[in-house]
Amino acid sequence: MKYFCLVRTQQELAAENLLLRQEITFLKEELAQLKRMIFGSKKERFIPAHSDQQSLFDLQQTQAVAQMETLTYEREKPAKKGSAKRLLLPAHLPRQEETIYPEGLDVDHCTKIGEKVSEVLEYTPGKFYVQKTVRPVYKSNNEIVVAELPTQVIPGGNAGASVLAYLMVSKFIDHLPFYRQVKIFKRDGMTIPESTITGWFRKTSELLSPLYEVMVDHVKSTDYIKADESPIPVLSADKPGSTHKGYQWVFLLPKAKMVIFKYDQSRGQCVPEEILRDFSGCLQTDGYAGYNQQGKRADITHIACMAHARRKFDEAKENNYALASHALEQIQLLYKIEREAGQASLTADQIATLREQKAVPILNNLKTWLDEQYQKVLPKSAIGKAIAYSLKLWPQLTAYTQNGYWQIDNNTVENKIRPLALGRKNYLFAGSHQAAQQAALMYSLLGTCKLNDIEPLQWLTNTLRKLPDTKTSQLHQLLPLNNT
């Protein structure tokens, strides 16, 4: 009886020891992650241990040793390098010419044999000007005749299209909040209250709203969409003294070269259900469960993001470098195939064939390895979570090989969120739920300009001038993708 109790106690101690080791491992991983967030680099570049590339530390050591070597042979002294070349100033820039004559010389009695020209780059800050429209009033046959006033961007307002476009581009591309723009304008001698600019923003958004709806309507005419979401703090009357955590949902249409932002107060699945109601085709997302219901639809193929799987293994390097590095090396091989396809400018069918020949065998071997390793690692460890994440989404992670148009990851849509993240750091929050949706409208239009290599300020200025007189049936002609 005593022996039985002793054995039982040893089992309990072993179980307790295992739990404590798991807890220590978890705490170490959590501490490492916090240190990485605060002090570490956010880059996920991985250099295998057997790579030919040297680390910066190794390179510095090599250079230090090289400086201590003694040369025992003779060589010619290298010729002195010429002075640095000056910046060539663009020919299209306007020139303000100034001629300087020799002091005390009567040039009228001299023969000019040439001239020396020097140019320096100067800058004049943007200046306001007033567009004054004069309409003479005539009396003809006892009738008063006057020309009609051209359609104004803001009826009854005194802000022109170029000023409104400049305000929008400065905030949503250059990340300058309105209050900072007010200070800049004041230095140029123009005082505009921030409340006035906010009113202009609201009116401009209302004018552009039909154009935004035309963009949203493109969702049902495409067959490939990438989706992601990002939080944004919003002032709300429901939470006085604090902000509401809303979300900007982002939908990238690669074939249409269009990006659509949609604000919502929640991160629930109701948002993609609304946007993707009439969509059929391929939907690519990260592992967020809010899209799972859409992935169950018969007319939607739901694929995942390899970059997110790679990130899990990158975070697990400190937990188990050997296993994490092996997974990262295999994923690097997959991306090498994608670069090969891009550099060769292959067609979609050729890309699909290349993936079938090279990527599928790598993926099959990786799947076998993941299954084997998952039985050996602690499920709650970083490497265990990384392997579990990949195995759970494996059919979706590998589905990109079935179609040459589909991409290996969701990075392009995440890149479209960067302006939102930078803007959020500058203006901190949206003033209301309505303002957050108006910001979504601006990010959509200006982000689509970037996708199509359209200069946003010129496009928005011209669009604001044309929009009031454009029929609903012709709105699509104003979209950035139709102005390339």
pLDDT in tens, 354-378: 999 999 999 999 999 999 999 988 8
Q: Which three-class secondary structure state does DSSP give residue 100? A: coil
pLDDT in tens, 315-331: 888 888 899 999 999 99
- pLDDT given for residue 60 in this prediction: 47
Neighbours of 382 (CB within 10 A): 25
Domains in the chain: boundaries: 161-217+430-482, 306-406
pLDDT at residue 459 tops 80: yes
Least confident of 37-46, 217-226, 254-263, 465-474: 37-46
Neighbours of 250 (CB within 10 A): 23
As a dihedral over the C-alpha atoms of residue 316, residue 322, residue 324, residue 328, rounded to 10 degrees, the angle is: 140
Q: Which three-class secondary structure state does DSSP give residue 228? A: strand
Mean pLDDT for all residues in the chain:
83
Q: How far apart are CA 224 and CA 232, in angstroms?
A: 26
Q: What is the pTM of this model?
A: 0.77
Q: How far apart are CA 12 and CA 453, in angstroms?
A: 66
- pLDDT given for residue 47 in this prediction: 66
Q: How far apart are CA 335 and CA 196, in angstroms?
A: 50
Q: How far apart are CA 239 and CA 241, in angstroms?
A: 6
Q: Which three-class secondary structure state does DSSP give residue 396? A: helix
Q: How far apart are CA 159 and CA 163, in angstroms?
A: 6
Least confident of 93-102, 340-349, 356-365: 93-102
pLDDT at residue 16 tops 90: no
Long-range contacts of 346-353, Cβ-Cβ distance < 8 Å, separation of 24 or more: 346/404, 347/404, 348/403, 348/404, 348/405, 349/404, 350/404, 351/404, 352/401, 352/402, 352/403, 352/404
pLDDT at residue 161 tops 60: yes
pLDDT at residue 151 tops 90: no
Q: How far apart are CA 367 and CA 394, in angstroms?
A: 8
